[in-house]
Amino acid sequence: MWTYCSGPPLQNALHACGGRRCGLSLRGLRHIQDPASQRLTWNKAPKSVLVIKKIRDASLLQPFKELCVFLTEGEGPFLDDPAISGDESFGPVTKKFCTFREDLDDISNRVDFIICLGGDGTLLYASSLFQDSVPPVMGFHLGSLGFLTPFQFDAFQSQVTQIIEGNAAIILRSRLKVQVFKENWEKKDGSDEKNIVLANGGVKASRPAVQYQVLNDVVVDRGPSSYLSNVDLFLDGHLITTVQGDGLIVSTPTGSTAYAVAAGASMIHPNVPAIMITPICPHSLSFRPIVVPAGVELKITLSQDARNTAWVSFDGRKRQEICHGDSISITTSCFPVPSICFRDPVNDWFESLGECLHWNVRKKQNHLGAEDEDF
């Protein structure tokens, strides 16, 4: 459904072609200096919607039903929530649904845009479903944090209608393409040693690896061991440093306000083409987070004299052990996540900083009166 132009990393991250199915076009993406100029329009009206609801949250059943009823008044949507099918009063609506099974059904060419009901974790899950091009994502804040979900559900009818009619602000959230190379490779899905097994079940000819698309961060830590983590960090083939501490976070600008900021990193606007490297509790007074250009290739390996193995996770999922001889390759992905904005990329981001993280919240200093100026 979605294809992106090839070329330098900045073009890959900031310039997109029209969609193959519904005819999406993104205007103004060449104006890197003006994030507010990025707009979403439809050449053809969208037909299919993927609705993803936060699991194990009963409070979201009623909003989910209301949204589904609203969407099914027109064309039949493509929705996901098999847990709700037992409601008899909701039965006629569910007949218009089409559910899918994760890792088994290919939905990459069947979805025009996505609606998320939940928190930031719901949007991260939506990103993980698409290992190539991602449809535009509209996130409603019905979770605990809501940094990535700027829409409130109270006015969902008018907001969804506005998106379907087009001309909405959009931000392209860059992702990381991550490949994990294992020294002791175990065959998966019947593939041979020269295959890459993709996270969505596909297979591509190359060296043995598992590939992921990561929206927030790649976290390498010491796992259950009591010893310091000891891993080597390479940039474009050159050894940059050895990380001795609890671990390392490699994050996108979107992920800079997640685990990275808790570990002392700066916050980067999602429109900045960059990769952030943040140590976790480093055993050094001078090891500070650094920002490198988008498109560089990072490689993380276990140091030869490391006392223990390391563990890695991708957006908090797919956690696995890294042993001697294994390596993790990280670079900027050509497939960002088009995230629909409530107002525009700048205002939405600063509002999230204030509302979710209470950035720079402080009681104001009292004004000096005329009598106080004499002292």
Please choose, from the candidates 9, 29, 10, the residue with its C-alpha nearest in 3D space to the C-alpha of residue 18.
29
Are 167 and 218 found together in one domain? no
Does the reported pTM lie above 0.95? no
Q: Which conformational region is residue 170 in: left (phi greater than 0), alpha (psi within -120 to 50 degrees), or beta?
A: beta
Residue 17 domain-assigned (yes or no): no
Are 312 and 346 found together in one domain? no
Are 328 and 347 found together in one domain? no
150 token code pair:
């700027």
Are 216 and 166 found together in one domain? no
Strand ranges inside 94-136, DSSP E? 113-118
Residue 322 domain-assigned (yes or no): yes
Please choose, from the candidates 169, 133, 97, the residue with its C-alpha nearest in 3D space to the C-alpha of residue 21.
133
Residue 43 domain-assigned (yes or no): yes
Residue 366 domain-assigned (yes or no): no
Q: CATH number, domain at 278? A: 2.60.200.30
Are 89 and 64 found together in one domain? yes
Are 148 and 256 found together in one domain? no
Are 40 and 150 found together in one domain? yes
| Residue 18: per-residue pLDDT | 36
Are 326 and 343 found together in one domain? no
The answer to whether the beta carbons of residues 361 and 54 sit under 8 Å apart is no
Residue 289 domain-assigned (yes or no): yes
Report how many domains make up the chain: 2
Q: Is 120 a catalytic residue?
A: yes
Are 168 and 303 found together in one domain? no
Tens digit of pLDDT per residue, the chain (375 long)? 332 222 333 333 333 333 434 555 555 444 445 656 678 888 888 888 889 988 888 888 888 888 888 887 744 444 444 555 555 555 555 666 676 666 666 777 788 899 999 989 999 999 999 989 999 999 999 877 788 999 999 999 999 999 988 878 999 999 999 999 998 765 444 434 445 555 555 554 445 689 999 999 999 999 999 999 999 999 999 999 999 999 999 999 999 999 999 999 999 999 999 999 999 999 999 999 999 999 999 999 999 999 999 999 999 999 999 999 999 999 999 999 999 999 999 999 999 999 889 999 888 888 887 776 666
| Residue 273: per-residue pLDDT | 94
Residue 263 domain-assigned (yes or no): yes
Are 79 and 137 found together in one domain? yes
Are 180 and 151 found together in one domain? no
Q: Which residues pair with 183 in a beta bridge?
A: none
Catalytic residue among 80, 120, 217, 326: 120
Tell me the Cα Rg of the chain.
Answer: 22
Residue 191 domain-assigned (yes or no): no
Residue 195 domain-assigned (yes or no): no
Q: CATH number, domain at 346? A: 3.40.50.10330
Are 71 and 140 found together in one domain? yes
Q: Which domain holds residue 308?
A: 176-184+207-332
